[in-house]
Amino acid sequence: MKDRIIAILILTVIITTSIFYYFIAVLIWLLTRPFDRRLRLLHLYTCYWGAFYTYIVPAWKISIEGREKIRRDATYVIVSNHQSQLDILVLFRLYVHFKWVSKSEIFKIPLIGWNMVMNRYIKLRRGDKESIAQMMADSEERLSEGSSIFIFPEGSRSYVDPDGAVVMKYINPRYFEAYMRPGDYIAPVNLVGGSDLTRGWRLRRARLGISMDDPFEVTARMLKNFEKAGLAVMQKIAALPNIKIVRFKEEIQNRA
């Protein structure tokens, strides 16, 4: 009963603060859009808005390693594994300029989704060829404008082995062909601990780790061999040092 009351209180805080934060976001959008075409200030504010909900839960401890490897004046395709629905809030703590590639349903959520539309984040309806084509065009446009994009290539969220290690789910390597262009730079991100944050209504004590590696350039040869390159990126992410082990299992790829 206590856990449910705490969860309801936090949900109430999210709803009430989202109303307040949304109207500030609208004001920032109106005032800065004429001179901030990439909406950097609005996204920075959105980072604070999203990260705020991780700051108010003292039981969640978040460590970030390698953030200094991201240059503020450069453009990247940021690639990460995916653990939970709360990953986005945690990753907002990076305070790095990018555009999310996210399921189209999220854009329909009042206030939060409307803010995503203002930020010109990128919609994707999985399995819809027209939506995929539009997503590819939008991604290329944002990159050309100088905005990084952030993607989760896993088909679903990672799961946890009995020993506590995070295991990547199936990855369609065509993501590499869809998002990358020769000369783009990939910024690998390893994220762990997201699945420990909640259990049903109960908030749990959790340690989360974000580990980032040096960005590396996409070559024409990599795009020609996109299936191999796409999986190699995820293997590189899995190998990054973090507070938990992340495993890339060949048998999961081979079963799909």
Burial 103-137 (b: 16+ CB within 10 A, else e): eeebbeeebbbebbebbbbbbbeeeeeeeeeebee
For the purposes of burial, counting CB atoms within 10 Å of the CB of 40, is it exposed (0-12), middle (13-18) or buried (19 or more)?
middle
Domain residue ranges in the chain: 2-255
Residue 194: the pLDDT is 83
Question: What's the pLDDT tens digit per position in 19-78?
Answer: 999 999 999 999 999 999 999 999 999 999 999 999 988 888 999 999 999 998 899 999
* Amino acid at position 157, single letter: R
pTM for the model stands at: 0.93
pLDDT tier for residue 192 given thresholds of 50, 70 and 90: very high
Specify the pairing of strand 185-192 against strand 77-80. parallel
Residue 9: the pLDDT is 81
Q: What whole-number distance in Å separates Cα of residue 203 and Cα of residue 60?
A: 9
Strands (E), 54-177: 60-65, 77-80, 98-103, 122-124, 148-151, 159-160, 166-167
Structure tokens of 75?
Answer: 């453009």
Question: What's the pLDDT tens digit per position in 124-151?
Answer: 998 888 999 999 999 999 999 999 999 9
The CATH code of the domain at 2-255 is 3.40.1130
Q: What does 13-26 look like in DSSP terms, one character per residue? A: HHHHHHHHHHHHHH
